[in-house]
Structure 1
Amino acid sequence: MNLLPKSSKEFGSVDYWEKFFQQRGKKAFEWYGSYLDLCGVLHKYIKPREKVLVIGCGNSELSEQLYDVGYQDLVNVDISEVVIKQMKERNGSRRPHMSFLKMDMTQMEFPDASFQVVLDKGTLDAVLTDEEETTLQQVDRMLAEVGRVLQVPFLSVGGDIGVRKVQHRGCSPLSGDYVIEDVLGEDRRYFRRLIFLSSRNVVQSEARLLKDASFRAQKKRKKDKKKPPPADSAEPLPPAPAQPVDKSYLCCEHHKAMIAGLALLGKPELLLETPLALLVVGLGGGSLPLFVHDHFPKCCVDAVEIDPAVLQVATQWFGFSQTDRMKVHIADGLDYITRLAGGEAQARYDVIMFDVDSKDPTLGMSCPPAAFVDRPFLQKVRSILTHEGVFILNLVCRDLGLKESVLAGLKAVFPLLYVRRIEGEVNEILFCQLRPEQKLATAELLQTAQALERTLRKPGRGWDDSYVLSEMLKAVRIV
């Protein structure tokens, strides 16, 4: 019996799933692992007494097994009438407190803030069949509804989405499952409210869509229905969290690797007293420039962000603030660097960091936009980098041919190029320098990183003990 769709587009079709569950019958279908595979993750993030919504439940046994071990406040929804009928018949008498409802997750009938946890096992993958505009609109509606029904809204912005690999029996290296965890800033406290179990093939797209959709979802949440804002004014963001954000913590592995690249500047014992000039293109939640600003007291940071709403969220939710040593420029990074490169008195930076997403991932590269790695533009980047400096780039590229082309272009402009792959992710961090004679062997690089870490670990500096700079540079290779 062949239940596979003729095309991936059918995964988003109601008719496909009705036929699928009719033909499959009572045999459970487990997309991305069973309860035994996933229980470690689920028990970590969900408390037994919390009210949980499972979207796109299908006929998986996951909810039933959660119920049997004590998670009894479970509501399951699916768009298939066939499977909801099957699940009601299967659980009606055995699990009386668990409900199954036929419902479109893009138009759910629950009141606002009805659930403490939303759990999805593969449903977002089924919806995100491509990145056409109609598909992305459907995903956006789904995420907006998830944000609406959660008691604590999800607000991940600019790289503050946590992605963790799920290790379980029978998982091959090419078909691993992933958890997308929604994070509140960098304070090590996950919301434990939004859990997506997803394949590696779409995890990066999903994380990016979460970032894009979360802010829009919050803007739709009305704080005072009796006093709606004027039609020509935007709704305010929700109030900032009461607890302060721990600015010493970097939740993104690629941010940790980018910071570790500062060891390439040399003389690590002097960096805290060196008046470094940094340029960061792509603000996100602000954690990357904020970390540098707080740990290198003599540095000055210019951050470039194209969207003023991102700056607003970073400031209100993630503890970001501008100072006399850190300024945000609302501009297109391409235009900003082009303007600097064309000026008579060219700005000079010791460190330039690119951490900016592409809005057109169809090219096979979702970070950065292709224009940021065009050779003529890279020449402009080179012109504003000091001779001893380092250019650090977050690259997310699945197309091997395109990746080789990007690396070749970088190598043509920056003779010394190191690459550090982020384990379990698509991200690769590229460290680019102008002088080949600066090349460090792996042992030298690790020694330099250890020296920098010793300097940063001094009492009173708020260093995160779990962050080992040398570990981030062990896997570096020279192109």
Structure 2
Amino acid sequence: MSVSLLPSSHSEFQLKDYWEKFFQKRKAPFEWYGEYLDLCHILHKYIKASNTILVVGCGNSKLSEDLYDVGFTSIDNIDISEVVIKQMTSKNRTKRPEMTYTVMDIFEMTYNDSTFDCVIDKGTLDAVCVNSGQETIDKVKNMFSEISRVLKSNGRYICISLSQEHVLNQLVAAHSQGWIIRVHVVKCVGEKVGVASALPVFIFVMTKMASPAIQIFEYVNEDEKCIRCEDDAGIIEFVRNCQQYALVLHHLGSMHMEEQVCLDLWSGSNNIEPRFTLRVVDLPKKKALNGQFAIFLVPQGRETNWLFSSSAGSTQLAESAGYERLVIVTLHRGHTYQSLDKVKEEISTKAMELSQDSLPDRIKCPVLSLAEGVGSRTVLLESSSSSSGGFVVEESQDEEERGLVRRLVFLESPHLAQTEILMINKSDGASKRKGKKGRQHKNGGKLFDFSELMFPYHKLMLSSLALIGGEEGGKRGRNPTGAALDILIVGLGGGALPMFIKKHIPMVCQDVVDLDGSMIQVAIDWFGLEADQIVTGGEGEKILVHRDRGKLNVIQGDGVEHIMSLSDRKQANTLYHVIILDVDNKDAGSGLSSPPLSFTTPQFLQAAKSLLHPNGM
């Protein structure tokens, strides 16, 4: 497309002089809203061969000619440009004698009321609605009024548009009452279309109803299913999502991405969780030793692994794979995935849309994975609480195939495990525990393996005990009640860290504070928590009296309030050797993943310091 043929500003679209010059310059049809092959499978659903059809702002598009040639012969075409009408009349007078071309202003059409079964508008609205100014709005209303006037009852106004924001708002607002609105997004067979290739083309089908009270809003998804919306906001959201996706594809196709891009793919049958998440990772060409493009499928249950859930991990994975662009595909809970081949079939088209424009057509794209299948995930419990929101307890195969890993996942951060613990067979547990019977809860006949911490940061936290100095540290700051080390942990989760300490560091007396009573019960029922005492925050002082070695005390309450309260009382027996904050931050906008900002204020830090022994941490 020649750049000189495009207007220098949007307002030129509505000027008659612009279109006269445009058609004088360009003799060939100008199909920037899609070819007939792109549009016909949608148009044929809504018009019949016997219909009387009006094409407004026809220009020199071949759309009317193509419709005529497949049997739609009752077509009137109008345009403001005398030049184009003269061209098209001359071209079609002999080949298509029943089709007419007339110079006519869409704002003052001379047809009688209720003349046509269908009005087709291919880009004319976009040419008229150039901005959101009042003068433009008045023109658009006039145009819609004329179209409605010449349409029969139950007739259809089919508008083919790029649907920019100001156009979309006017189009939907004008037809929200007394019309059925249905929207299709056009899938182009050949080259990308639109004034800019990043803009998708939409077909709005608006059916004029006899009753002005009727309000029906629908869009057609990629599976050709018609989705009913509650109001016009659903239509607007659908269009904007399509536009944003097209813009992302445009950038991905034409450039190397410095930052990773994530896209969610939703299933029409499940609107709670996406079916897939696609993360696009680009590498410099010099590091791409194996090719241009590949797909990596993350087995179910592995999505919380650092390698797949973080930007740094994904970069490391891409470097190991050795492709210039790697699309990492994550499968979500709440969906069924039959087999690896079925998943490949589902994602192949969308994943290939994310490839570079330079990728050869029909190339066979490698699909990489850590396992032969799609993996498996068993959801044991799905619930919610007022403090933690939705959460699940689930199991999947351990990466090293030692057994099953049980996880606690908060659905606000579905790719981040709050707790992980290895589940082992009874025989393995018996040998590890030298004959001790492991405590069994809702564990399917397996044992909780408390011999290993699954999270590296938990191991780092426990290194603080070595810095205290063991028994020597106890001499420097031992409580008179006899425990060598006193630890306060804020944040229980599933209790993996406190249970490791209880099993393997018997000199320690632990106080664990958690706000969520439901989560304390989940830790007991599903993760084998063995608490010696459980009290509410107001009764927290009760556990401070008996500080025996190996005790694990759980306090239900606010961690900040608990520490501030203990600090205010300044009790001698409330000193701790170590205070650990293991609390996630649910405020994504704060910039901290942990802890919440309330744990970082000078007042809180001073209170926490006052509860520590002189050599405490």
Do Structure 1 and Structure 2 share a fold, with TM-score over 0.5? no
- Higher relative CO (Cα under 8 Å, sequence separation at least 6) belongs to 1
The TM-score normalised by the length of structure 1 is: 0.42
Choose 1 or 2 for highest CA Rg. Answer: 2
Say which structure is richer in strand. 2
TM-score (normalizing by structure 2): 0.33
